[in-house]
Amino acid sequence: MATTPGLVDSYGRIARRLRLSITDRCMFRCVYCMPEQVVWMDRRHVLSFEELVRLSRIAVSLGVERIRVTGGEPLVRRDVPELLRALGGIPNLRDLSLTTNGVKLPEMAVALREAGLRRINISLDTLRRDRFVEIVRRDAFEDVLAGIRAAEAAGFEEIKLNCVVMRGINDDELVDFARFARDTGHQVRFIEFMPLDGDSIWDRSKVFTCEEILARVNAVFPTLPPRNEGTADPAREYAFADGRGAIGIIASVTRAFCQWCDRVRITADGKLRNCLFAVTETDLKTPLRAGASDDDIAALFRAGVYGKWAGHLINSPLYQKPERTMHAIGG
Ligand code: SAM
Ligand code: SF4
């Protein structure tokens, strides 16, 4: 395969991180992500492990350094450790991680760790069982807690917790989560609620902003200024002033970080998305299955990334919600 310059967009940003969605399926129905009544992708359109690895290998040859496996719930697919092993073997890939709702970790954490996975993000939006059922629409709070414990026992080098903050729903738990982060050593990442949900419940008034999150947490556990301002990391990281742990805040709505964005996504049905909020996609699956060469696919990657817009339009009247909701994009 030719060695050509990496994945550069027309604004000069370089894509170095790939979010690889391996399924749109999930056993949860989080209100901020999926509709209650969901129509799954036709399985024939979902990429095989072989196809996922091939696309990933091409992406890495184009300069992608980090891959995060996601979904839907990635662990609903059988043999994910096998996939991770294959991805981990791609030369020049520097980092492999996975985002999960945690429910399958009690049975899978050890196998994932043994497959070479070192970093894992687990979603948890509440520390209260009754509320968990309201947000996730499934009664699995204890299973997720058991999943976190299983990940701890399996010896992951880094466990982060993802918490979507919604006004009037869980914003009263921020200090509890901060305490949880301090007690466990796991960074809790508060995520502003983004307009990618399935039942169209999002509106601006439900976004509990980065500023408000910080004010709440700082009132009890003061934090230092962010240690990674101006980088491509989606979460700004705020260490606690007393040195005990940190929180992260992903402020996609109120402090968009598009100018530093280095991400590109592949959906489970093989569409390249150059932005989480993109309304157009580049089809990689059809050429892949029609016998395209690595160079042909690489050219599609480059063209898809080149066309990335300057930034999302959530804060503009021009915002157009993507057709896919979060579970089908890959968060
Ligand atoms: N099922 C896995 C999980 O829940 O961690 C992985 C996929 S999920 C789509 C990835 C992340 O996106 C989760 O942390 C979830 O909380 C977050 N997410 C989903 N919908 C969101 C929304 N509308 N706004 C902000 N974050 C969202
Ligand atoms: Fe499933 Fe994750 Fe979406 Fe919740 S956020 S419905 S766990 S894919």
Q: Compute the C-alpha angle 220/226/231, nearest 5°.
A: 155
What's the CA-to-centroid distance between 88 and ligand 1, angstroms?
Answer: 23
Helix (H, G, I), strand (E, B) or coil at 250: strand
Pocket (CB within 6 angstroms of ligand 2): 26, 28-30, 33-34, 71-73, 101, 123, 326-327
Determine the average pLDDT of the residues in 148-171. 98
119-123 and 158-165 strand pairing: parallel
Q: Into how many domains does the chain fold?
A: 1
Express each pLDDT in 295-326 by its tens digit: 999 999 999 999 999 999 998 888 999 999 99
Express each pLDDT in 48-99 by its tens digit: 999 999 999 999 999 999 999 999 999 999 999 999 999 999 999 999 999 9
Residue 11 falls within a domain, yes or no? no
Residue 239 falls within a domain, yes or no? yes
Helix ranges (H only) for 125-209 are 129-136, 141-154, 174-184
Flag whether pLDDT at 4 surpasses 80.
Answer: no
What's the CA-to-centroid distance between 109 and ligand 2, angstroms?
Answer: 18
In ligand 1, the atom with minimum distance to the C-alpha of 125 is 16
Strand partners, 236: 249
Residue numbers of the domain that contains 261:
17-329
Residue 8 falls within a domain, yes or no? no
CB 9 near ligand 1, within 6 Å: no
Flag whether pLDDT at 3 surpasses 80.
Answer: no
In ligand 2, the atom with minimum distance to the C-alpha of 72 is 8
Flag whether pLDDT at 143 surpasses 50.
Answer: yes
How confident is residue 230, by pLDDT bands cut at 50, 70 and 90?
Answer: confident
What's the CA-to-centroid distance between 24 and ligand 2, angstroms?
Answer: 9
The CATH number assigned to the domain holding 109 equals 3.20.20.70
Residue 1 falls within a domain, yes or no? no
Residue 6 falls within a domain, yes or no? no
Output the pLDDT for position 5.
Answer: 67
Helix ranges (H only) for the chain are 49-61, 80-88, 105-114, 129-136, 141-154, 174-184, 210-220, 285-289, 294-306, 326-329
